[in-house]
Structure 1
Amino acid sequence: MTQADDHDLRVVVAAYVDHLTVERGTARNTVDGYARDLRRYLAHLADAGVTDLRQVARDHVVGFAASLRHGEGDRPPLAPSSAARALSAVRGLHRFAHAEGWTEEDPARDVRPPPLTRRLPKALPVADVLRLLNTPTGDDARSLRDRALLELLYSTGARISEATGLDVDDVDRAERTVVLDGKGGRQRLVPVGRPALEALDAYLIRARPALAAKGRGTGAVFLNARGGRLSRQGAWQVLKVAAERAGISTPVSPHTLRHSFATHLLEGGADVRVVQELLGHASVTTTQVYTLVTVNTLREVYATTHPRALG
């Protein structure tokens, strides 16, 4: 940046977003989320008459944090997790600006979000998962694709974005593995169960060629009706429709099969660090939340079956 514009907040935000993308290699979804949060921050500061980086004080950051929880003008309040992410984006912005020497102090250094209530992930019982996986029953291209997608999500614990990002070359049917591109550009090799491989084989041999003929030659595993890569929204719709047809009353989210994968592994005796590697978590602390799910399940079973549990 030039001397004239190195304190313009819009320019500083653009430089920070470039830094995240180019130098830090931050995942695109994360960068997009931070950019949205920082646009909201700039609007908050503009309302206070602040457009210069050097004008920002701790009180401005504290005021922004409060606006995230309570709303401001036509900007609605955010959920606690979204508010924490937005404040993290602001803290990162000011830490970056201070490190670059554009400010003498970091006004956001001591502003922290309130601790989040730990929410346990929702996992389906095994019987419900099996019913969901068996919902696509036809032999048409869409049914074969949907069955392969659902089987793969549960067999590997992949995020929906990781499954839709799969290319044909990422699947090693001989070794029964897939290569998943996770958050932050981290790749991991994950084994695939036999039912999922059989569903993938049926789709790749009997359905994908016809779908691919309608497109422009993408290497994606999962294709839409036009022959292009299936989007995350499209894959989420597949899961949602399958859950409705399977009669599952529990709310289903894009992460439902991922949560079920992790919980069922731990209930089966898998080591938490193995599950961490399979899920692609950078820290085992993230994975340990699933151990709370299994402890709760054990507690419920104990309370309802042991003759002296309530004594």
Structure 2
Amino acid sequence: MQAFVKHQCRCGIASNNGPPTRELQADRARNSERFLRFLSGKSILFEHGQLITRRDQLVLSDVMIRYSRWLRENRGLRNTTINSYLFDLAKWLPSLGQDATKYSAQQVRSVASAEFEKRSQISQSKFISSIKSYLGFCVFEGKCDASLIHAVISRRSYKLSNVPKRLEPGISQKIIDSVSISTATGLRDRAILVLLAELGLRAGEVGRLTLGDLDWKQATIKIDGKGGRAAIVPLTQRSGDAIQLYLARGRPASRSDHLFIRCRRPHVQFGAPSEVANIARKALAKFGLKGGAHIFRHTLATELLRSGRTIEDVATVLRHTSIQTTMIYAKVNATMLQRLAVPWMGGGQ
């Protein structure tokens, strides 16, 4: 299986040229594991129309079961987020131990240092969120002191240091126009890309849309947003037209009430936000660009600022709960920054 994941396919079927990328290797490994699991008969692949993944097969201890229930009932997190926390927790909990009454600040820092050594920056941030959340749960159960949460060391970072990746003006529309509407898949993918580009929806929000979320009379669409926050968003003309065309000519017959479903059998809803992100990633790859669904959201915010909209307006469109989250986009507004720039003392350029 390892040899298959890394091999350079020369059979003429694969569309990738050259050695497989890290993303392609990950796809091969995941799909091969599912197929081998099916052949061995160890477990089923589908249950109630949902794909059973390796994450779903995670063996949970008693403390992890209680933690999962706490995340759902006290934090109000979605199952996908809870699974992400549990999957990360399983990696380092054996080092920390399951008896929270024995935790110490030195032990917490030691586990954090060991995890930082083998993780990327993004994974380090994920670990910090994961261990702080778990320690908060232990405090809730009265097993440890709340001061332990502050014992977690943080990676060095700078506020608003990153510049969000975005597309150049006009590229979003070219990408959308390049999608063929002669197939059901093309009609679906085009409607998804229009929603990403014009409404700035997140991948998970697109995947959770249902037929009942559409209000054609009021020209609105209900968004089941991040953290379970719902919002009513105006439906633009192009996004409404794209959805109508998909429903009329592209959406297969299905018992699922989700708006976007898989075009290949079984015709069920997407299993994870990554499926929406992959649609965006493939569309971008046709133009030699890298990125996923979120790059369209960044592009929308940038274009709104360039057209003269305020930060508050952009925060409203993106449905940010804090204006500080939106402030990162001020760094990509070149027109505004040029007005703030101080002239060079020598008088040159």
TM-score range, shorter chain: 0.7 to 0.9
What's the counterpart of residue 196 of structure 1?
Answer: 239
| Cα deviation code 1:263-301 (max 9, x no counterpart) | 111222222223223223221111111111224x65589
Question: Quick check: 1:81 aligned with 2:122?
Answer: yes
What's the counterpart of residue 156 of structure 1?
Answer: 199
Question: Quick check: 1:252 aligned with 2:303?
Answer: no
What's the counterpart of residue 54 of structure 1?
Answer: 101
Question: Aligned partners of 1:53, 1:283: CA distance in 2, in Å?
Answer: 34
Question: Aligned partners of 1:293, 1:277: CA distance in 2, in Å?
Answer: 18
SS at match of 1:107: helix
Q: TM-score by structure 2 length?
A: 0.73
**78 and 172 in structure 1: CA distance in 2 versus 1, 3 angstrom threshold:** same
What's the counterpart of residue 310 of structure 2?
Answer: 271
- Shifted more, 266-275 versus 185-194: the winner is 266-275
Question: Aligned partners of 2:141, 2:178: CA distance in 1, in Å?
Answer: 55
What's the counterpart of residue 5 of structure 1?
Answer: none
State the AA in 1 paired with 2:325: T
What's the counterpart of residue 66 of structure 1?
Answer: 113
| Cα deviation code 1:66-125 (max 9, x no counterpart) | 11221xxxxxx2222321231232223223323432235643333241343432211101
Whose relative contact order is higher, 1 or 2, with alpha carbons under 8 Å and at least 6 apart? Answer: 1
Question: Quick check: 1:218 aligned with 2:256?
Answer: yes
SS at match of 1:200: helix
Q: TM-score by structure 1 length?
A: 0.81
SS at match of 2:321: coil
State the AA in 2 paired with 1:103: C
How much has 1:198 moved relative to structure 2? Answer: 1.2
Question: Quick check: 1:229 aligned with 2:269?
Answer: yes
CA contact (8 A) 1:95 1:109 kept: no
Question: Aligned partners of 1:32, 1:101: CA distance in 2, in Å?
Answer: 24
CA RMSD of aligned residues (A): 2.6
What's the counterpart of residue 169 of structure 1?
Answer: 212
CA contact (8 A) 1:17 1:35 kept: yes
SS at match of 2:114: helix
CA contact (8 A) 1:13 1:93 kept: no
What's the counterpart of residue 37 of structure 2?
Answer: none
Question: Quick check: 1:184 aligned with 2:227?
Answer: yes
CA contact (8 A) 2:196 2:293 kept: no
Question: Aligned partners of 1:238, 1:94: CA distance in 2, in Å?
Answer: 37
State the AA in 2 paired with 1:277: T
For structure 2, the 5+ residue unaligned runs are 1-59
